[in-house]
Amino acid sequence: MAAFKTIAFCAVLALAPATLAGCSASDGEAVNPASRSQAVASSVKAQERRPNIIVILTDDQGYADVGFNGSTEIPTPNIDRIAKEGVRFDRGYVSFPVCGPSRAGLLTGRYQSRFGYDLNASENPLDPTAGLPLTEMTIADMLDQAGYTSAVMGKWHMGNHDQFHPFERGFDEFYGFTNGGHDYFLDRLRNIPVKEAKNGGQLYQSWLMVGRQQVPTSGYLTDWLSDRAVDFVARHKDKPFFLYLAYNAPHTPMQATQKYLDRFAHIADERRRTYAAMVSAVDDGVGALLDKLDALDLADDTIVFFLSDNGGPLHRARNGSVNLPLRGGKGDLFEGGVRVPFAMRWTGRIPAGIDYPHSVSSLDIAATAAGVNGISLPARNALDGVNLIPYLTGKRKGEVPHQRLFWRYPSDSRDNMRIGRRAAIDGSDKLVEYRRDQSLFDLASDIGEKKNLRSSRKVRARELDAAWQRWNDQMAKRSAIAIYNEWEGS
């Protein structure tokens, strides 16, 4: 596969820095010169068009803050379309209650604990161990085998070092930032090279990346990402694509334009009002993306996922989100930390209006992408997720995607055996341990995890504890990455 993709470089990038309020179809160095997808596509025998795959990920969004989970305070008609025209997952889980490890699980389809990514990685841009281990395959790596063109828009958070850049992890285009968060008002950003950043604050304020190059931009970050996503779809409408649209909204800092704030003048609490405006901006972007799919007659050829990376934060970095009726929030292994707004559609293939009651996981996204393309992975990259399509179309009637799911949260060190929090689900039973204090809940009757049944169901608690121990025995004993508190700039 020696052939390479032909690239048209954007003149404003090649000749001089210019403010990128928008960029045309020749988005220059947003494109990976080493992309092999066209060469692979010519060798793939496809009997029918392979489905496009779009993953829309929000950051720190509360379980209750979408219309399809009952929100009336923050209308999300466009996000709700995904659930209405496809599936609402009542028990949609992520693999970790904090950004970085959750994304590592989503992108690989594997419990991130298998490869020692149990805490947020250090943001040190010069540390070659501070990011997604190079042993792991991303969804983009997998789909490259089937001739897909892949793009990341937004928050990467899989490492700031050059070797973790999206171009090194299977992606063909990148618009966004490699660290864990960013300011939203693009005109205020500064020319701070990522490699020279001394702390997280400087990373938040640095120019965005188009490909590998940091460039000045203008406008509001959420809108900018939405525009790039719509443009990507239009440019790649004739061949299969994978779009990972990773908004950093509604993560702090709480920043919104007047256009969106004016929609929520009735909300008295300033933080909640700004949060609502940030979610509304995402909803507008989702609407523009779905409308573009319709206009290009691609809706039936595109699988769309929507979810948040974890629950809304209730304490540190509080953003005004609501997780009710769930208990807890970001950082917790109670439902409010790991059970998230989660929906999916594939019009024409999956029946519309499904309210799916069984546990699904963000790990299933990669497995679904691989499954619909018949992609086999090396044993060392075996997936923990499952292809959801047979469960949603009735081909695996009477079966559930996951009888059991597991979590662990180490105590802020590289020793992954120092577990501060852990949890296991088996059906509707859930065991949670925090600082060696165990609770057992029946989620079928107690979604808010208020009634601890451990004393009356000791045998069941021991069963879940033993199942978790067997799972944990398969996981990495030490962190494979430099963790968040090891950089002086943290």
Q: Which residues are known catalytic residues?
A: 99, 157
Q: Which helix (H) or strand (E) holds 89?
A: strand 87-89
Number of H helices, E strands in the chain: 13, 16
Q: Which residues of 144-168 are buried (b: 16+ CB within 10 A; e: fewer)?
A: bbbbbbbbbbbbbbbbbbbebbbbb
Using DSSP bridges, classify how beta strands 173-177 and 149-155 pair: parallel, antiparallel or unpaired: parallel
CA distance linking residue 386 with residue 186, whole number of Å: 39
* C-alpha pair distances (Å), 321 with each of 222, 255, 456, 459: 18, 14, 34, 37
Confirm if 280 and 258 have CB atoms less than 8 A apart.
no
Cis ω before 325 (30° cut-off from 0): yes
Residue pointed to by tokens 């059970």: 339
Q: What are residue 380's phi and psi, to 5 degrees? A: -70, -15
> Cβ of 396: how many Cβ atoms within 10 Å?
15
Confirm if 206 and 196 have CB atoms less than 8 A apart.
no
CA distance linking residue 490 with residue 488, whole number of Å: 5
Using DSSP bridges, classify how beta strands 360-361 and 92-93 pair: parallel, antiparallel or unpaired: parallel
Q: Which helix (H) or strand (E) holds 304?
A: strand 302-308
Return the structure tokens found at 444. 């079928």
Confirm if 382 and 403 have CB atoms less than 8 A apart.
no
Q: Which of 253, 148, 152 is nearest to 205 (CA)?
A: 253
Beta bridge pairs of residue 151: 173, 243
Q: Which of 198, 245, 196 is nearest to 221 (CA)?
A: 245
> Cβ of 278: how many Cβ atoms within 10 Å?
33
258 residue type, one letter: Q
CA atoms within 13 A on the CB side of 157: 27
311 residue type, one letter: G
Alpha carbon dihedral 349, 353, 357, 363, in 10-degree steps, equals 50
Count of positions (residues) in the chain: 490
